[in-house]
């Protein structure tokens, strides 16, 4: 099955198609050429025999004119002594042979005066062979009755030539096709192998390994030029990504260092005030504000990094089912405390596998569950569900809360957007933005739906196979 798919893939390549068209064109040209040569040769040979026959007839006619039928018969007898390729028969009206070098009157559907072809038997080296001849039949009307004269040439040589052509032509076409297809297959396989190495490299790079480069061979052919150009482009991308990484790092460093000092000073003052027995509630509030500031900053940084894809190297095969189970377990007591039912629904047998970053997916799901619990009134229901179908794997969180009006849905994933209704509840306003960034990071889709009532947020991931499994060529392992 796999082999069949591989050969099918070979046949579908551009190279193979080009080769196929050329092979067919070439086979047609060769056939036409051979056919023309054959036709011409046959015509020439026929003309030659005809000429010889004409000459014989002229000679015999002379005899007949001069000496009558008896003279003609003598002439036929004498000429039959050393026949060569010539054949003569003189017969009476009932086709009884009077003279000549044929044993029996051949079956001719005759057209008197014109050239006819007929089969006859001839003994060669003691064996009887079926041969063909070409000649002319003349009825001779004399007072003694009607006689028939047949003058012919053996066309065995011509037949041999003809047979040579008729057997050569199909074989030639078959050989051209076989060689052409083999050559085409080899060429396509070669091209596929080069292209596959480029494809493999690019998908590894997409998966986060920015240091990979397309292999360049020594041949310096057009593929190598392409590979070198791609590699130059990759160098540039890698530099840009590294630059981006350095920028986020220095932004992080330059903001975290003063934030750290700020928090430390606050803690110090709190310690001093506490030691002096004073009220520290103001300081505590300031520390809480600082922590909120830090949380917002961290969330922003994480979103920026996730969006930029700088953490691509950390992708693993991930069981969404276990992520969902862990996060649900983490939030279940909180839901119960808020008098909500948190339910986890998973297909039997699990197997909702994606390629992803466990921490990011967990955090995205935690944000969704957190939101659902926050906005669903007591007595409501929150359902975490994993689902798997032909199109991919999905992870959804549905609640029975107020939901989000359809026109607001595209807006809530933007950074810092908080709906009027939730202005006063705690949170950075970055929760859904992070979910969107995580979705983007995994080539997944974040869909916000009406749960009637409530909100249903779904993360739809592509199958891991769609990106990991690259097309393979038949004998790649043998070639490596």
Partner 1 sequence: MRILVVEDDLEAQRYLVQGLKESGHVVDDAADGDLGLSLALSRPYDVAIIDRMLPKMDGLGVVAEMREHGNTTPVLFLSALSEVDDRVKGLKAGGDDYLTKPYAFVELLARVDALMRRRSPVTVKTRLQVGDLDLDLLTRAAKRAEQAIDLQPREFRLLEYLMRHAGQVVTRTMLLESVWEYHFDPQTNVIDVHISRLRAKIDKGFEAPLLHTIRGAGYMIRAR
Binding stretches for partner 1 (CB under 8 A): 248-249, 251-253, 256-257, 259-264, 267-268, 284, 290-291, 294-295, 298, 301-302, 305-306, 310-311, 313-314, 326, 329-331, 333-334, 337, 359, 362-363, 366-367, 370, 373-374, 426-428, 431
What backbone torsions phi and psi does residue 263 show, to the nearest 5 degrees? -65, -40
Torsion of CA 102, 108, 114, 117, to 10 degrees: -70
Give yes or no for a contact between 129 and 121, defined as CB atoms under 8 angstroms apart. yes
Cα(479)–Cα(457) distance, integer angstroms: 48
**C-alpha–C-alpha distance, residues 365 and 368, integer Å:** 5
Q: How far is the CB of 4 from partner 1 (least distance, A)?
A: 42
Minimum distance, C-beta of residue 454 to partner 1, in the bound complex (Å): 19
Minimum separation from the CB atom of position 313 to partner 1 (A)? 7
Q: Which is nearer to partner 1, 41 or 290 (CB)?
A: 290
Place of tokens 């749960």: 451
Closer Cβ to partner 1, 166 or 278, answer by number = 278
Here the tokens at position 242 are: 């590294």
92's CB contacts (< 8 A; 6+ apart) are 98, 145, 146, 147, 148
By beta-carbon proximity to partner 1, the closer residue of 86 and 318 is: 318
CB 463 to partner 1: min, Å: 25
Q: How far is CA 400 from CA 54, 254, 334, 341, 429, in A?
A: 110, 43, 16, 10, 21
The distance of closest approach from Cβ of residue 365 to partner 1 in the complex, given in angstroms and rounded to an integer, is: 11
Q: Which is nearer to partner 1, 367 or 458 (CB)?
A: 367
User: Is the CB of 212 or the CB of 476 nearer to partner 1?
Assistant: 212
Angle at 187 between CA 182 and CA 192, to 5 degrees: 125
Least distance CB 201 / partner 1 (angstroms): 22
CB of 18 to partner 1, least distance (A): 46
Decide whether 74 or 284 has the Cβ nearer to partner 1. 284
- For partner 1, the closer of residues 108 and 434 by Cβ is 434
The smaller minimum CB distance to partner 1, of residues 64 and 331, is found at 331
Q: What is the dihedral of CA 61, 65, 67, 68, to 10 degrees?
A: 90
Q: Which is nearer to partner 1, 82 or 253 (CB)?
A: 253
The pair of three-digit structure tokens given for residue 158, joined into one six-digit string:
């011509």
Closest approach, Cβ 260 to partner 1, in A, equals: 4
Phi, psi angles (nearest 5°) of residue 100: 135, 175
Angle at 155 between CA 152 and CA 156, to 5 degrees: 135
**Strands in 390-430 per DSSP E:** 392-399
Q: CA triplet 108, 113, 115: central angle to 5 degrees?
A: 60
> Smallest gap, in angstroms, from Cβ of residue 302 to partner 1?
7
Whether the bond between 453 and the residue before it is cis, its omega within 30 degrees of 0, is yes
């Amino acid at each position: 099955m796999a082999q069949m798919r591989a050969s099918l893939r070979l046949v579908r390549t551009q190279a193979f198609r080009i080769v196929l068209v050329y092979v067919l064109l070439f086979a047609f040209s060769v056939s036409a050429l051979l056919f023309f040569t054959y036709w011409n040769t046959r015509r020439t040979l026929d003309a030659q025999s005809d000429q010889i026959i004409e000459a014989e007839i002229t000679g015999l006619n002379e005899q007949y004119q001069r000496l009558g039928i008896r003279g003609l018969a003598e002439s036929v007898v004498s000429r039959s002594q050393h026949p060569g390729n010539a054949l003569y028969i003189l017969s009476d009206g009932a086709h009884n042979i009077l003279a000549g070098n044929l044993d029996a009157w051949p079956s001719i559907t005759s057209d008197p005066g014109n050239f006819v072809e007929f089969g006859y038997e001839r003994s060669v080296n003691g064996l009887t062979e079926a041969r063909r001849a070409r000649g002319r039949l003349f009825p001779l009307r004399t007072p003694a009755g009607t006689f028939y004269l047949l003058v012919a040439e053996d066309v065995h040589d011509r037949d041999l030539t003809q047979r040579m052509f008729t057997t050569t032509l199909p074989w030639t076409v078959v050989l051209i096709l076989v060689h052409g297809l083999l050559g085409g297959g080899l060429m396509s396989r070669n091209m596929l192998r080069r292209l596959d190495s480029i494809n493999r490299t690019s998908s590894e790079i997409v998966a986060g390994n920015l240091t990979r480069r397309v292999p360049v061979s020594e041949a310096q052919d057009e593929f190598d030029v392409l590979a070198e150009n791609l590699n130059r482009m990759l160098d540039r991308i890698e530099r840009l990504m590294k630059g981006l990484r350095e920028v986020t790092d220095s932004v992080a460093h330059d903001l975290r260092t003063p934030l750290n000092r700020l928090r430390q000073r606050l803690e110090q003052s709190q310690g001093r005030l506490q030691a002096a027995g004073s009220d520290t509630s103001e300081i505590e509030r300031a520390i809480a504000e600082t922590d909120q500031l830090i949380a917002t900053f961290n969330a922003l940084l994480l979103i920026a990094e996730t969006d930029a894809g700088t953490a691509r190297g950390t992708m693993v095969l991930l069981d969404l089912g276990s992520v969902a189970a862990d996060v649900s377990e983490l939030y279940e007591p909180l839901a119960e405390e808020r008098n909500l039912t948190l339910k986890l629904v998973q297909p039997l047998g699990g197997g909702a596998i994606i390629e992803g970053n466990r921490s990011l997916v967990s955090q995205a799901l935690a944000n969704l569950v957190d939101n659902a619990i926050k906005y669903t009134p007591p007595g409501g229901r929150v359902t975490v569900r994993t689902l798997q179908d032909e199109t991919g794997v999905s992870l959804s969180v549905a609640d029975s809360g107020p939901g989000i009006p359809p026109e607001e849905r595209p807006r809530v994933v933007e950074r810092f957007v908080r709906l009027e209704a939730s202005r006063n509840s705690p949170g950075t306003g970055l929760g859904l933005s992070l979910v969107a960034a995580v979705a983007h990071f995994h080539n997944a889709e974040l869909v916000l739906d009406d749960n009637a009532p409530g909100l249903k947020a779904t993360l739809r991931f592509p199958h891991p196979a769609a990106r990991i499994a690259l097309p393979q060529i038949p004998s790649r392992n043998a070639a490596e």
